[in-house]
């Protein structure tokens, strides 16, 4: 089996994907039309031309604008279902997807509408495609602590459907410490905890995510490499980093894929995983990310397998399921 065949054959778990970031222009047009909502583009080509981001904020502005056309339960279902079909193509057998409730509730869409649509897609993915999933809701860090507390309260009736709470949106200037109290409350309520840190923000934000939010995983975290003591902490604690190579390239976190540090992190013993982040915006889904790093960094078959094993070990599934997928990976030639 060559690297490409191996990437396709590996069962994989995706742990860092924003469902709003899987919104393909074709579906965006279809939903905008049926909901009679204007979008500032005339064609799919025009949408794609607008995707020339150079940093996180320039991406987020377009990402939030696109999400505006999502209004009804069926819209959220269609969005998630389209993503699950991509998972099936890429042999992603388990996914833990982020959603941003505030992006929708701030426009008057009910929390229930969002969660019902996503949950129905998750149920269908299990029964029709054999793909398991969990939902993680993220607080938008550019909004206030108070708004995050309100969102947490809205989520409590759906506690059984939401495995964890995360933190996303504009990182610099909005450190994890801003949300220390609301994450403490989320932990008390029994949610698992993740947070974006060390994407554009400094290693100090990763320290805060560990020490103040008490995260189970760090999302991105690639800037941890700048701080040797932090690296030792991540290695010692086997703290997963959900790395998103094509995202890092598109948002200029790295200049060239050949400069990406995922292989160095892996070789040093950091528990890195591969993920797509916002695949519709960043040029590819799970396998595209694997292929991009495999080619640019000349990854070995053992390294590709280790990345796939890491994805299950870092996931929130039980040990029986983890061992099942790990054995399948080890059995590949
Ligand atoms: N970083 C921060 N916020 C986000 C991202 C990201 O990569 N994608 C969607 N919201
Ligand atoms: Zn992200």
pLDDT, residue 167, reads 98
Give 7's pLDDT tier (boundaries 50, 70, 90): very high
**Mean of pLDDT values over 160-188:** 98
Measured in Å, residue 79 CA sits from the centre of ligand 2 at: 17
pLDDT in tens, 189-207: 999 999 999 999 999 999 9
- Whether 199 is catalytic: yes
Atom of ligand 1 nearest to the CA of 168: 3
Q: Is the CB of 224 under 6 A from ligand 1?
A: no
Q: Is the CB of 199 under 6 A from ligand 1?
A: yes
- Compute the mean pLDDT over every residue in the chain, rounded to the nearest whole number: 97
pLDDT, residue 209, reads 99
Maximum CA pair distance of the chain?
53
Q: Is the CB of 248 under 6 A from ligand 1?
A: no
Measured in Å, residue 278 CA sits from the centre of ligand 2 at: 7
* Ligand that comes closest to the CA of residue 20: 1
All structural domains of the chain, each given as residue ranges with its CATH number in brackets, are: 3-23+73-330 (3.20.20.140)
Q: Which run of H or of E encompasses 26?
A: helix 25-34
pLDDT, residue 333, reads 77
Range with lowest mean pLDDT among 35-49, 167-181, 186-200:
35-49
Atom 10 of ligand 1, nearest CA residue: 169
Confidence (pTM):
0.98
- Torsion sign over Cα 25, 11, 194, 135: positive
- Give the orientation angle of helix 145-155 with respect to helix 180-188, to 10 degrees: 10
Pocket test for ligand 1, best of 57, 97, 169 (most atoms within 8 A of CB): 169
Range with lowest mean pLDDT among 41-50, 194-203, 324-333:
41-50
Measured in Å, residue 316 CA sits from the centre of ligand 1 at: 21
* DSSP string computed for 238-284: T-EEEE-HHHHHHTTSSSSGGG--HHHHHHHT-EEEE--BSHHHHT-
Q: Is the CB of 278 under 6 A from ligand 1?
A: yes
**Mean of pLDDT values over 96-113:** 98
Q: Is the CB of 196 under 6 A from ligand 1?
A: yes
Catalytic residue (choose from 199, 200, 208, 313): 199
Q: For residue 127, give both structure tokens.
A: 């029964």
Integer-rounded Cα radius of gyration of the chain: 19
Q: How many CB atoms lie within 10 A of CB 252?
A: 13
**Which residue, 173, 213, 170, is CA-closest to 192?**
213
Q: For residue 216, give both structure tokens.
A: 């189970």
């Amino acid at each position: 089996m060559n690297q490409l065949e191996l990437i396709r054959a590996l069962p994989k778990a995706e742990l860092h994907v924003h469902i709003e970031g899987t919104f393909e222009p074709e579906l965006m047009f279809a939903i905008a039309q049926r909901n009679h909502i204007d979008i500032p583009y005339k064609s799919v080509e025009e949408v794609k031309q607008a995707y020339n981001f150079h940093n996180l904020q320039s991406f987020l502005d377009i990402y939030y604008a696109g999400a505006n056309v999502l209004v009804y339960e069926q819209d959220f279902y269609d969005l998630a279902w389209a993503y699950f079909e991509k998972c099936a193509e890429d042999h992603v057998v388990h996914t833990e997807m982020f959603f941003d409730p505030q992006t929708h509730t701030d426009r008057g869409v009910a929390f229930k509408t969002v969660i019902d649509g996503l949950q129905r897609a998750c149920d269908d993915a299990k029964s029709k495609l054999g793909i398991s999933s969990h939902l993680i809701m993220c607080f938008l860090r550019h909004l206030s602590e108070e708004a995050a507390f309100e969102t947490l309260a809205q989520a409590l009736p759906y506690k059984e459907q939401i495995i964890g709470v995360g933190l996303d949106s504009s990182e610099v200037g909005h450190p994890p410490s801003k949300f220390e109290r609301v994450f403490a409350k989320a932990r008390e309520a029994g949610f698992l905890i993740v947070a974006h840190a060390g994407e554009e923000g400094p290693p100090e934000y990763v320290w805060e995510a560990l020490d103040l939010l008490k995260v189970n995983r760090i999302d991105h975290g690639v800037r941890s490499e700048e701080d040797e003591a932090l690296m030792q902490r991540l290695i010692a604690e086997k703290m997963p980093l959900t790395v998103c190579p094509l995202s890092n390239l598109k948002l200029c976190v790295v200049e060239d894929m050949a400069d990406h540090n995922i292989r160095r992190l892996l070789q040093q013993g950091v528990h890195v995983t591969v993920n797509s982040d916002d695949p519709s915006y960043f040029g590819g889904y799970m396998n595209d990310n694997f292929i991009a790093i495999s080619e640019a960094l000349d990854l070995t078959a053992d390294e590709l397998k280790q990345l796939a094993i890491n994805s299950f070990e870092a996931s929130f599934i039980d040990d029986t399921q983890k061992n099942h997928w790990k054995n399948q990976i080890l059995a590949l030639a």
